[in-house]
């Protein structure tokens, strides 16, 4: 049973969007509305694929979910807390404690080892890395199959290995939500499968909610739920059976 920390409600969704609209260049002749009254609920522990053609609003929606952009109208409740109207400082603190990110390009720091890259969020947050945080980072790297590569720099790792470091980094602060934006989009098929397997494994072991943006229908079909955006609206939202793709 999920109990929402902010409201005390049982079975409260992790994410609840209600009539969300997002426009750019408001009040100008070239004003454009990208999201048109979108409604979405995502429960704790789901593994969701977010799909749709280019220009459908996927990136805009992900930025709103990640507290990187403000919505124009509507409501966004994250763990029961209304985020619309929070200050930038409040949004930063909420993002830091609640959300992990995995991007198409891993954004690892080239001068640092895999282990140092994973501990970077703790270093930036606290100014130092505790023994407990260091041990946790080592555990995560081992969990994604990089026990023997912790001291290697990104240039010494394959593309798939670099993304696995990025996955460990996204999970090191133990967020309830991970947003992955085309995490396999820059990889070949074999490396894509390798990274996706690690995402699914972390989901199964940690119970973290994953929302994965992908253009790859093959990977989307291996998620538990498929949400498809078309022209800024949800055109399809259905449960899928990943086992049928094996």
Judge contact between 209 and 156, C-beta under 8 A: no
107 pLDDT above the threshold of 70: yes
pLDDT: which is higher, 6 or 147: 147
Provide mean pLDDT across the span 109-118.
93
- pLDDT at res. 8: 42
Alpha carbon separation from 144 to 20, 135, 179 (Å, rounded): 36, 15, 17
- CA–CA dist 46, 154 (Å, integer): 30
pLDDT for 117 = 93
What average pLDDT does range 220-245 have in this prediction?
Answer: 85
Geometric angle at alpha carbon 45, from 65 and 6, rounded to 5°: 65
Q: What pLDDT sits at residue 7?
A: 41
pLDDT given for residue 5 in this prediction: 42
Instruction: Tell me what the mean pLDDT of segment 197-206 comes to.
Output: 85
- Among 11-25, 72-86, 189-203, which is the least confidently predicted range? 189-203
pLDDT of 68 reads: 92
Residue 22 bridge partners (DSSP): 35
Q: What number is the average pLDDT over the span 106-122?
A: 89
Q: In the chain, what are the domains?
A: 15-245 (3.40.50.300)
Who has greater pLDDT, 123 or 162? 162
Cα separation, 211 vs 50, whole angstroms: 7
pLDDT tens-place string over residues 15-28 = 999 999 999 988 78
Q: Output the average pLDDT for the chain.
A: 86
Whole-number pLDDT of residue 193 = 82
What is the structure's pLDDT at 243? 59
What is the rounded average pLDDT of the residues 57-85? 93
The fraction of the chain above a pLDDT of 70, given in percent, is 93
pTM score of the predicted model: 0.85
Beta bridge partners of 20: 38
Distance, in Å, from the CA atom of 7 to the CA atom of 117, rounded to the nearest integer, reads 35
pLDDT at 225: 94
What is the predicted pLDDT for the residue at 1? Answer: 33
């Amino acid at each position: 049973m999920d109990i929402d920390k902010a409201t005390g409600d049982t079975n409260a969704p992790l994410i609840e969007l209600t009539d969300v609209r997002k426009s750019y260049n408001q009040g100008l002749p070239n004003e454009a509305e990208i999201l048109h009254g979108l409604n979405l609920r995502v429960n704790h522990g789901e593994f969701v694929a977010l799909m749709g053609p280019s220009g459908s609003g996927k990136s805009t929606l992900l930025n709103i979910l990640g507290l990187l952009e403000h919505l124009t109208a509507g409501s966004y409740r994250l763990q029961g807390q209304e985020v619309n109207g929070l200050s930038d400082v409040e949004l930063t603190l909420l993002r830091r404690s609640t959300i992990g990110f995995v991007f198409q390009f891993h954004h690892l720091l080239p001068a640092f080892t895999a282990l140092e890259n994973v501990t970077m969020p703790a270093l930036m947050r606290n100014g130092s890395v505790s023994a407990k945080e260091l041990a946790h980072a080592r555990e995560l790297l081992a969990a994604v199959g990089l026990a023997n590569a912790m001291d290697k720099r990104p240039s010494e790792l394959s593309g798939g290995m670099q993304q696995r470091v990025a996955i460990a980094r996204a999970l090191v602060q133990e967020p309830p939500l991970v947003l992955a934006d085309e995490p396999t989009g820059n990889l070949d098929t074999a490396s894509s499968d390798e990274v996706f397997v690690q995402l699914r494994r972390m989901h199964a072991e940690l119970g973290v909610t994953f929302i994965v943006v992908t253009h790859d229908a093959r990977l989307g079909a291996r998620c538990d739920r498929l949400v498809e955006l078309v022209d800024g609206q949800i055109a399809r939202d259905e449960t899928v059976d990943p086992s049928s793709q094996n």
